[in-house]
Amino acid sequence: MGDTSLSEVQVSVIIPAYNAGRYIASTLQSVTGQTHANLEILIIDDGSTDETPDICRRIAADDPRIRIISMGNRGVAAARNIGIEASTSDYIAFVDADDLWHPSYVETLLSALHPLPPDWGAVYALHRIIDSEGYCTRASSGLSARGTVLARHLIFRFVGNGSGLMIRRAVYDEIGGYDSAYAEHGIGGCEDLDYELRVAEAFKIEAVPLGLVGYRIHSAAMSSDSSRMARSLLAVYEGAIARNLQLPRWVVDCALASVHLYAFSKFIAAKNWKNAANSLKQIFRFSPRLAGIVFFGLILSKLRRAARRAWSKLVTTKNNLMKFEQVDPQAPLGGGLSSFRTEKLLKRLSEVDRALDISHHQRRSEMSFTNNAPLGNGDPFAL
């Protein structure tokens, strides 16, 4: 990508913020403290009614890289889009106002993406779950994939939050911004996944398999509304499948089983029994084996949950947890393999992604796969 030194490459950081007064200062500290200092930092205040604007103004007064843009409350997608439009850099990174970045986040992702050809449009990092006080409570699965990743990302959702993606501006120029229609229909929450899938449909994506993002789980977070998150994800998959009719039927089955498994867990958490039952029915339709695992898992779940809580009270204290900034980014994440025979499934999906990549390079508008079974036939998890 030319002779430009990496330190000379500016990166725009988009931070949508709505009533984030409790966390915005620590988020900004993690952004302004990046080892890659050439940043344009745009805070999009999405109609906050708490102290968020005042905190941002105080911090911005000491850092000329920060700009604050105020708007009426329209949701995270609209806020990100306004930030992109106001930005000037060729690289754009997103972080939510309650999440954290490791100090090397921007430098590491930019180093991975910048040397690649233009058809590599984005790069992502993995994450660790942090609590309201910034302590790491668990890590993401550790699974990642690079290149043409559409089929694999549909099933495994590698990024898992809105704070782990960096794109080239060319991506926005080609596919546009985040879809604000989710919030307008009352199902905001998974706009980040929708965007990742749309990026994956048009570009290759690089992966940095390190836990460089601190993804905060707390009661005020958008992701804490379990029922809305479930409905949001189902809508994302409905759109993604409709846009990608070239996908093999077994991949569609697999994706639908995966998304209904997520929705089932969220509906159960929200005590939305009717929708939970419907999701379980859909899981059985697309993967009887997976449905059986879920059913028997339910029988044991209360006992397991009680045991975990008891054990947690004995061994989990702040003394044996680490703050996100204290964790070595090279430290292993989760194992990534599950009872769903992930390794074989990833291999099969990789073959589909390779075919999609070949099709893309040949500029075919459609791609055919042989031996496509009717929708719902077979069991993608019975490998």
pLDDT number for residue 283: 84
CB neighbour list of residue 8: distance below 8 Å, 6 or more residues apart:
38
pLDDT number for residue 328: 92
Q: What are the residue ranges in the chain where pLDDT is below 70?
A: 1-3, 220-224, 290-319, 335-341, 362-383
Judged by DSSP in three states, 305 sits in: helix
Contact yes or no for 376/285 (Cβ under 8 A): yes
A 10 A CB-CB count for 297 gives 11
Cα–Cα distance, 377 to 372 (Å, whole number): 10
Strands 11-17 and 39-46, sheet pairing: parallel
Cα–Cα distance, 127 to 171 (Å, whole number): 23
Contact yes or no for 100/135 (Cβ under 8 A): no
Where helices occur in the chain by DSSP H, the ranges are: 24-32, 52-60, 76-86, 105-113, 150-156, 169-175, 181-184, 191-202, 226-243, 249-269, 273-286, 288-315, 342-361
pLDDT number for residue 142: 87
Judged by DSSP in three states, 330 sits in: coil
Question: Which phi and psi angles does 68 have, rounded to 5°?
Answer: -115, 130
Nearest to 177 by CA among 163, 159, 204, 195: 195
Nearest to 342 by CA among 159, 192, 197, 158: 158
pLDDT number for residue 368: 44
Query: Locate tokens 């019975």: which residue?
Result: 382
pLDDT number for residue 269: 81
pLDDT number for residue 261: 86
Cα–Cα distance, 80 to 195 (Å, whole number): 11
A 10 A CB-CB count for 278 gives 15
What's the first-to-final CA gap in the chain, in angstroms?
Answer: 42
pLDDT number for residue 95: 98
CB neighbour list of residue 309: distance below 8 Å, 6 or more residues apart:
none
Whole-structure pTM value? 0.86
- Secondary structure, 3-state, 241-265: HHHCCCCCHHHHHHHHHHHHHHHHH
17 - beta bridge partners? 45
